[in-house]
C-alpha cells in the first residue's frame, strides 16, 4: 500500500503528524504509533527523492554522452 502512495500524499500526512505534535499535549496513547508512521513516511519520501535523483542524473549523463 505504501509503495502506491504518492510523494505529495506522504508529505501531507507527515506534515499533519508533525503539526499535531507541535501543538503540544500529544496523545500519549498514540504517540509511539505516530512516531513509527512518521519514520515510515520519511523513509518513503527519502527513497522517492533518491530514485528520482538517480533517474535525472542517468538521463543527463545519457544526453551528455
What percentage of the chain reaches a pLDDT higher than 70? 95
Check: CB of residue 13 under 8 Å from CB of residue 44.
no
**Strongest mean pLDDT among 2-6, 9-13, 25-29, 32-36:** 9-13
Phi, psi of 64 (to 5 degrees): -75, -30
Check: CB of residue 8 under 8 Å from CB of residue 15.
no
Indicate the pLDDT class of residue 21, thresholds 50, 70 and 90: confident
**pLDDT, tens digit (0-9, with 9 covering 90-100), for 32-53:** 999 999 999 999 999 999 999 9
Amino acid at each position: 500500500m505504501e509503495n502506491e502512495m504518492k510523494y505529495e500524499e506522504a508529505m501531507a500526512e507527515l506534515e499533519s503528524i508533525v503539526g499535531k505534535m507541535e501543538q503540544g499535549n500529544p496523545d500519549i496513547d498514540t504517540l509511539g504509533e505516530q512516531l513509527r508512521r512518521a519514520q515510515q513516511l520519511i523513509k518513503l519520501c527519502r527513497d522517492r527523492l533518491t530514485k528520482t535523483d538517480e533517474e535525472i542524473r542517468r538521463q543527463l549523463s545519457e544526453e551528455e554522452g
